[in-house]
Amino acid sequence: MSNQESEFPLVNKQAACTVLGHHTEYGKIGSLIQTTFDIAPHLASNPAAVPTTSRVLLGESMGTQYELYSLYATSIAQAVAAMNPHEKRSLLLGIALKPTDSMQEQKQVFHCVIDLVMAHTVW
C-alpha cells in the first residue's frame, strides 16, 4: 500500500435555488437516475441530440415524476454531450422536486434547474 494521497476521480457539485417561492430540496436525493449515451456523442450527427437510456437507481420508477426526472437527466446528458462530444461517462442525477400539475410551473422549474446545472459544470 502506498502512502501517496490521490484525489478521488469523481467530481460533483450541489446547488439549490428558489423556484416559484419554493426552495429546491438541497441535500436530498429523492430519486437517483443514471443516464448513459446509447452511442458515443462524437459519432452522432448532432451530439446535442445523442440518444440516451435512463434508469432509476433509487426512488420512483413509474408515473409522471419519473417521466419528468428522465427528461431532466436526458436534457442534462445531451447538454454535456454538446459541450464535450468526447464525454462517455454516465450521468448520475439526484433530484427531488415538489410535484405540480401546472405545465407552466413545470416549465419554469425545468428551465431554472437546467440553468443552475449549466452554471455549475463539472465536465
Which residues are CB-neighbours of 102 under 8 A, at least 6 positions away?
none
pLDDT at 46: 92
Residue 86 amino acid letter: H
Confidence of residue 96 (pLDDT cuts 50, 70, 90): confident
Whether the predicted pLDDT of 17 surpasses 60: yes
Whether the predicted pLDDT of 79 surpasses 90: yes
**Are 41 and 86 a contacting pair, CB within 8 Å?**
yes
What does the DSSP 8-state code read for residue 113? H
Strand partners, 19: 22
pTM above threshold 0.75? yes
Whether the predicted pLDDT of 113 surpasses 50: yes
Handedness of CA 76, 81, 84, 89 (dihedral sign): positive
Confidence of residue 1 (pLDDT cuts 50, 70, 90): very low
Mean pLDDT score, 94-118:
87
